[in-house]
Amino acid sequence: MSESPAAASPYEVLGVSPEATSEELRRAYRKRLRLTHPDVGGRAADFQAVQVAWERIGNPESRADYDRRRYPDNEHGTVHTGSASGSSGSGSSAGSARASSAATGPRARMYGHPGGHARQRYLELLREWVGRGTVIDDPYAPQLVRSAPREIRHCLARALAQESTAHLVSLLGIGYTAWHDVLAGSHPDPIDHVVLGPAGLFAILSEDWGASVELRRGELLAETLRPEDRPVHEFEDAARALSRALGVRFTALVVVLPDDALSDPLAVPGRGRRPTVVIIPRSRLVGLLREGLPGMDRGSFEKVFDLRSRLQDGIRFVTD
């Protein structure tokens, strides 16, 4: 079970409330085992997640220990630490990335605020959840994050994912330019990153659903995604809107996920004028942006320079 902020809690995996009795918990566990067992058509990842959830809260001792770590003393988890130092489990990744990127050496040109929109949304939803007027000393306190609803946790996980991607892109060097939190023309969803380099022009979606994913009929599925969620199609629509607004064509659309979400890259072949969608673990991102897609011609310096000027003039940010 992933430790991402977006990962389902053991109670969510078993489909019970944290106030469930031991008997209700046991019945839910047995039911979920039957429904997710591979012999009856279930997914092996879901079956394993059910067993891990039971290990965490299946007996009184382990459940009490989990609840002590997950739920703070008051109802909504509003802990008063007086310091952000306790946020190492959720909020400090951005600080680590910034510290690493402060090293000397040529960096990619970077514009915009990676993760800014997702973090702002996280803070807005968190304040609504705890109740307006409630003082939150540290919005990234681990206990508070773990006790928040999944929708709120996912916003934070997305912000961290975007910040991690931006850090990797920044290390590519002066031949690359990146724009973050980009307005996608008339589409309501922004593009997390637009990256231009010798290998082409890429639109990038940085995600973290706190679970392993699989590709089925051109769409991503995960236990933490709702049946109606269509992240690949929505990403394609946003990228197409931005492409029309700027008068450019993307070399590929890239979905970047944590390494534990998938082991090998996945791809949705391009259709007509639609570019290929590549779903990759984060550790493969730098290689893709440097080498491009197999069999693809690398652009000339002049072409990249001209395209960069057009993008710089046309791109608008969420915070504009």
Instruction: Please write the tens of the pLDDT for every residue from 146-176.
Output: 889 999 999 999 999 999 999 999 999 989 9
Q: Give a yes or no: residue 5 inside a domain.
A: no
Q: Give a yes or no: residue 4 inside a domain.
A: no
- The residues near 65 (Cβ < 8 Å, ≥ 6 apart) are none
What is the DSSP code (8-state) at residue 59? Answer: S
Half-sphere exposure (Cβ direction) of 212: Cα atoms closer than 13 Å:
14
Q: Give a yes or no: residue 301 inside a domain.
A: yes
Indicate the pLDDT class of residue 296, thresholds 50, 70 and 90: low
Domain identity same for 88 and 192: yes
* pLDDT of residue 130 exceeding 60: yes
Domain identity same for 133 and 211: yes
> For the chain, what is the domain count?
2
Mean of pLDDT over the chain = 84
Measured CA to CA, the distance from residue 167 to residue 225 in angstroms comes to 26
Q: Is 207 helix (H, G, I), strand (E, B) or coil?
A: coil
| Orientation angle between helical segments 231-246 and 301-314, nearest 10 degrees | 100
Amino acid identity, position 266 = L
* pLDDT of residue 318 exceeding 80: yes
Q: Give a yes or no: residue 319 inside a domain.
A: no
Most confidently modeled of 58-72, 206-220, 283-297, 301-315?
A: 206-220
Taking CA atoms, 86 is separated from 92, 139, 155, 238, in Å, by 9, 10, 19, 37
* pLDDT of residue 254 exceeding 90: yes
- Residue span of the structural domain in which 63 resides: 10-70
Domain identity same for 117 and 22: no
H/E stretch holding 56 reads helix 44-57
Q: Give a yes or no: residue 56 inside a domain.
A: yes
Share of the chain above pLDDT 90, in %: 55
Indicate the pLDDT class of residue 232, thresholds 50, 70 and 90: very high
* pLDDT of residue 227 exceeding 70: yes
Indicate the pLDDT class of residue 70, thresholds 50, 70 and 90: low
Q: Are 165 and 182 in contact (CB under 8 A)?
A: no
The CATH number covering residue 27 comes to 1.10.287.110
* pLDDT of residue 61 exceeding 70: yes
Residue that terminates a domain, selected from 18, 44, 70: 70
Most confidently modeled of 48-52, 246-250, 260-264, 316-320?
A: 246-250
Domain identity same for 117 and 31: no
Share of the chain above pLDDT 70, in %: 85
* pLDDT of residue 128 exceeding 90: yes
Instruction: Please write the tens of the pLDDT for every residue from 89-112.
Output: 444 344 344 434 444 568 999 999
- When mean pLDDT is compared across 243-257, 264-278, 296-310, the lowest value belongs to 296-310
Domain identity same for 172 and 23: no
Predicted local distance difference test score (pLDDT) of residue 134: 85
Q: Give a yes or no: residue 264 inside a domain.
A: yes
* pLDDT of residue 274 exceeding 60: yes
Bridge partner residues of 187 (DSSP): none
Q: Which residue has the tokens 């089925």?
A: 216
Domain identity same for 29 and 175: no
Measured CA to CA, the distance from residue 175 to residue 109 in angstroms comes to 8
This model's pTM is above 0.85? no
Domain identity same for 209 and 249: yes
Q: Are 258 and 282 in contact (CB under 8 A)?
A: yes
